A and B are shown apart, each in its own frame.
Chain A
């Protein structure tokens, strides 16, 4: 007997990525040889490579997850659904470092379970940049460099999405957090199209980062604020607006490898700003703005910030803080007033039901004159938030309120709510 396991309800290898939020999966018997009964009992279990990820299972949309799951599967090829999630605290480091193995008793007289199928997958999680393995780090910088492709690649769209002209779509109003969440997701999906094992890392700007600011990762500034990369780091070819390199130097004698960002409020302080979104979104000033302005160089101003790869790690942490705050206060539901800052006076692009620029393709006042990049990149794993996301799409990123809203990313220190 043989079975087929479909992750994220897809037989495609490209869909074999899970996070902490449950992924819908299916199993079906593809070769019933050796079975005589209309159904057979199949046990699913997680098998991890050394240091690899692990997954857990449950049968239905609710309930506790378990290390194994036994399903009754028809032998006529009909599929049976179940759910898989990454085991919190045990993310993958490489693609396929965990597999789901299906086992069945082939002989009615024997108690032994025999493997009847397996599928390799990855618990793909956004991690603290400080904790990445060398392989994870190298795959991330290589994917970023290829996306940039010496300034001629798809990255140019991302650079052009975040400028002074487009800034009112993304800053200074309630959709600051939703817009940037979507922006990061778009970039991450493009990186995953280059290397599916890549997830965006985040920079904890309230902690020292000795592994991040090295020549092999995001580089080290020289006395002039020009970032130096090692000869083996593909970011040495980084080019934006036609000019090679990254300008980024810590201000006021700050050493980011030994000290947290000066005057940047801590994670605990950020999470204590308030329990309703109108208060919490003031984090756009400190820690967000303050983390930007601890540096000289591109990252210090809106119009140039996205020229620096660090920008995306900084914003990944901003997004993580929002996600952590959401979980702490159960703020996933757009219908709940405290989850957002709805106000009739909000500018366009900042109301829950507004579509977001540039993914909506709308140009001309009050939107910016151009919409670089086209619709949001699709994911082989999830359907949300769709090609033209609305502000409200991003709130329920784990699919807590509606499983179909799951956007396909998770953070290493934030459980499924």
Chain B
């Protein structure tokens, strides 16, 4: 390395260290510290001392939550520099696991989110425990289900099915269904939900999407039936239209006169936002 390049590198490191020092200083306002921490990911990877200093802010419950969250973001950003970050990784994961049980719900949720991205077994176990025994829950059930969906295991399916049966909230039920979209055994459930006009539209839309992944042929059949049913909701019919347009067999669709007539009706009677899709569909298949 040339002298000039070494000097430039040293200068960048110095700037980075200066920012980190400022970020750690209680003399700065929380807003200033948050801004400084955002400029410090490089410094984190430079030395164990720097990393421990940032982890110290993260662990310190006396620090303002926004500064602790910024410290977590700095570590998460530094983790993108994989090679340089590697020596810090174990301490980082250990700190996140510790933070997953922090008194602050924001810190807990944020830490568990990062651990879920790492497919961390410890976090998965804690999330499942919380769903089975709500008194042990570290985050809301809908968040736990969502995070378990990052790396689905069979054990999660049983818990998700229970929640679909006895949901603590509508959002938890929805997240349980999203998680079950990876479970082949749940295909009949999604067929039933999709065709149930009394079901929430959001749930029917998720069911269409899940079914498309689990059994695409079945979804094409159901989507066609929903489009032929003028009494069903326009948004569900729009979802069905998208399923057929994007993933159906074009040759088959072009010959289906009943379907095309039904879409023709949709193109004249539906609200403008759905009419456009119907017209586009017709332009594609009735050229």
Contact = CB atoms under 8 A, between A and B. Distances in A.
Contacts of B81: 171-172, 284-285, 289
Given A231-B242, A243-B178, A296-B113, A151 B213 contact: yes
A150 B212 contact: yes
Interface string A110-154: 000000000000000000000000000000001001100111100
Contacts of B178: 226, 243-245
A247 B239 contact: no
Contacts of A262: 38
B181 A244 contact: yes
Interface in A145-183: 145-146, 149-152, 164, 167-168, 171-173
B31 to A, nearest CB: 10
A224 interface: yes
B238 A232 contact: yes
Interface string B131-154: 000000000101100100111100
Given A242-B181, A289-B78, A303-B119, A145 B246 contact: yes
A245 B82 contact: no
B192 interface: no
A293 B38 CA distance: 10
B117 to A, nearest CB: 3
A292 B78 CA distance: 11
Interface in A232-252: 232-234, 236-239, 241-245, 247, 251-252
A256 B273 CA distance: 24
A46 B213 CA distance: 46
Contacts of B247: 146, 149-150, 237
Interface residues of A, number: 64
A150 B213 contact: yes
A48 interface: no
A113 B113 CA distance: 67
A244 B206 contact: yes
A231 B152 CA distance: 26
Interface stretch (B4-12, B50-58, B121-129): B4-12
Contacts of B84: 172
B277 interface: yes
A108 B161 CA distance: 84
B175 A276 contact: no
Contacts of B107: none
B213 A239 contact: yes
A347 interface: yes
Nearest to A242: B182
Contact of A231 (B39, B41, B236): B236
A286 B39 contact: yes
A282 B9 CA distance: 10
Contact of A237 (B79, B114, B117, B242): B242
Interface in A241-276: 241-245, 247, 251-252, 262-265, 274, 276
Given A244-B210, A278-B5, A231 B235 contact: yes
Nearest to A344: B1
Mostly, the B contact residues are: helix
Contact of B114 (A223, A243, A245, A301): A301
A181 B213 CA distance: 30
B276 interface: yes
A172 B81 CA distance: 4
B113 A241 contact: no
B69 A285 contact: no
Contacts, number: 190
Contacts of B210: 244
A164 B85 CA distance: 12
Contact of A290 (B77, B113, B114): B77
A302 B80 contact: yes
Contact of A242 (B213, B241, B274): B213
Nearest to A289: B77
B237 to A, nearest CB: 8
Given A237-B242, A245-B209, A252-B69, A226 B85 contact: no
A194 to B, nearest CB: 10
B12 A343 contact: no
B256 to A, nearest CB: 20
Contacts of A347: 83
A358 interface: no
Contacts of B142: 224
Contacts of B100: none
B117 A274 contact: no
B152 A241 contact: yes
B175 A232 contact: no
A289 B44 CA distance: 13
A226 B41 contact: no
Contact of B246 (A146, A172, A286): A146
A11 interface: no
A372 B203 CA distance: 34
Interface in A206-241: 222-226, 228, 230-234, 236-239, 241
A19 interface: no
B205 interface: yes
B42 interface: yes
Contacts of B70: 263
A285 B118 contact: no
Contacts of A279: 8, 12
A263 to B, nearest CB: 3
A285 B245 CA distance: 41
Interface of A: 142, 145-146, 149-152, 164, 167-168, 171-173, 222-226, 228, 230-234, 236-239, 241-245, 247, 251-252, 262-265, 274, 276, 278-279, 282, 284-286, 288-290, 292-294, 296-298, 300-304, 343, 347
Given A243-B182, A300-B117, 7 more contacts: A231-B205, A239-B212, A251-B69, A251-B73, A279-B8, A301-B79, A301-B117
Interface of B: 1, 5, 8-9, 12, 34-35, 38-39, 41-42, 66, 69-70, 73, 76-85, 109-110, 113-114, 116-119, 140, 142-143, 146, 149-152, 171, 174-175, 178-179, 181-182, 202, 205-206, 208-210, 212-213, 216, 234-236, 238-239, 241-243, 245-247, 273-274, 276-277
- A-B pairs, 7 with minimum CB distance: A301-B117, A263-B38, A242-B182, A289-B77, A172-B83, A231-B238, A244-B181
